[in-house]
Structure 1
C-alpha cells in the first residue's frame, strides 16, 4: 500500500480539495487519515474533524470519522503521548485505515509547522509513516515563488521524503509557466502539477451558510441546496437597491434586517438564492409563507447586517457531502493537471 502525506506551507491551500480530486481521479481503493484535527465539529455525541467526516461520506469509508484522527488539542496530546507512543498510535491507525486499500492519503494540519510540538507536523508524519510528502502551494504568484525558494534554501526537507509540489489555484497558468516555470525547475523540486483557479469552488450552498452562521431556518428548507454566488447587503432604500446592477445578479444572497419587508419582497421577486435576516427580527407570516412556496431559504441571525456580512465574507467555502458537482470538478482538475502516475507510483 502506498502512503502519501498531503501538506501545505500555508493555510487554506486546498489540501482537502486536492485529496478529494486525487482520490476520485486515481480510480483506486483509497483510505484517509487526518491525525491532527483542526476543524472540530460535534455530531452524534462524538467529536469529529470536518474534513475526516467529509472524506468518510464521499468515499463511503465504513470506519467512523473519529478513527481518522488522534486528537485536536495540543495540550491533551502532550498529556496523553510522548513521541514514541504517539508514533505507535499513528502507525496503528494508519494500518487500520489502509487495510484493503491501494493508497492511503494522510492529510496534515493547517500549515507546514502545525503540530510540531506534539510530533504531528507534516514532516514528522512522513517520517513516522515512512512515506512521501506532497506539498500544496497557493496564493499570489509572488507568494508561491517565495515559498518555493524558501523551501529549497532553508527548509532542508530530505529529497527522499519530498515526492514533489502541487501549485494550486493559479489564475493564469500559461502566464505563470512563462514567467516562473524555468526558475522552479532550476530548484530541482519535482512539479507534480499546476491546477488552475476555479471560481465555482468558491461558491457555497444556503445549507452550508446556515450551518456556518448557526442560523435558524424559518422558511424555504427545501431550497437549502441552492448555490450562492453573489451577496447584496440591503442597507439602502428599496428603490435605490433595485436600480443597483449588483442587486440583479444571479444566484444572489440578500443580507438585511428582518423589518426591511420591502427589500425582502424585491429579492423574492428577483429569485434570490437565499435571504439572511439580521437583528433577530422575523418578517410577517405572509413573507415566510411566500418564501416557502418559492423555495427560497430564509435564515434568521441575531447579529446586525454589517457584522453578518463581515462574517460571511470571511467564510472559507468548504466542500460538503452534497457538493457532487464540486467533487466531479475536482476530479477533472486532478485528471487534467496532475501527474497521477508519479503520485500513485505506477
Structure 2
C-alpha cells in the first residue's frame, strides 16, 4: 500500500523565496522569488494580508504533521512503529477541516474565496484518507486500500488547485506590459528575460516593479512566504520578480553600458546580476534548496553577465566580486561549505575557473 500524503499548497509557493533586503556585504543590496496570471488584480486589503498570514502558519504546521504521519506510516510497515502511534500521527489529518476553519477561517473578501473552497475540499478528502489508512490495517477492510488511493489523490488535486487559485489572485501575477530601458512603471523586462531564458534553456519572464507596487506586491506575497524582506522571488516554472533597486542597476548595466570597476557601484552590479541568476536558477530547479540554488546561481553569473552585454573579463570580475564580497556573508540556509572550487556543488568540476 502507498501512503500518498499531499504536501500543502503553501509549500509550493514558498519554494521560490530567497534572500533578504538587508543581505549586503559592506555595501551592497538584497534578494528573493514568485509566479503570475490574471489581468485585473488590485491590491490586497489589510484583512486579506492578515488572512494570508494565518493560512501560512496553518500550512506550515499542517505540513509538519503531514510529514510526521508519513514517517510513522513507513515505520509501521517496517515494524519500527506501532499502529497506535500511527493513529495518533493521523489525528491532525483527521482534524484538517476543523483546524482549517478554526485557525484560518473563511477569507474576509471574495479575493481568495475560491482558494478557501478548494482547501475545504482538500481537508475533507484528507480526513477520509486518514480514516481509510487506519481501517486498512483491519481484517476484511480491503476496500479501505482503494479509498486510501482515491482520497489521497483527491487531496493532492484539491491542494494543487487551491495553490493555483491563490497564485492567480495575487497582485504579483497581474498582467504587465513588456517595456525595456529606463522606466519606473511595473513591467516585463525583455532583455533580462532573454538572458535568463538562455540560462533556463526555455522562455522565462523577468518582472521589474515600480517602487510603490513592489511594496504592495511584496506585502501580499510575503504574507504567504512568511517574510517580507525579500529582494526578489521566483514563481516556477517560468516567472521571477526583482526589486526596483536591482532592476535599476541592471538597466544601467544593460542599456547604458555602465561598468563600474570598484567600490559600492561594482558591488551593487555584482549583486544585481547574482540576484537575477539566483531567481533564474529557481526556475531551472524549483525543488533545489536555497543553498544549492545560491551556489549554482553564483556560477551562472559569468554567463548571465555575458548575455546582458558584458565582455568576458568584466563578467569574471562580477563573479569574483560576488564570491569575495557577498558569499562569505550569506544568511543561514544560503551558504554552504559544499559550494567551492571542485566541491560537491561545483557545476564544472573539470575546470579551475571559480565561481
| Bin of the TM-score, shorter chain as denominator length | under 0.3
- Provide the TM-score with structure 1 as the length reference: 0.25
- Provide the TM-score with structure 2 as the length reference: 0.25
Higher RCO (C-alpha under 8 Å, 6+ residues apart): 2
Which structure dedicates a bigger proportion of its chain to helix? 2
Which structure dedicates a bigger proportion of its chain to strand? 1
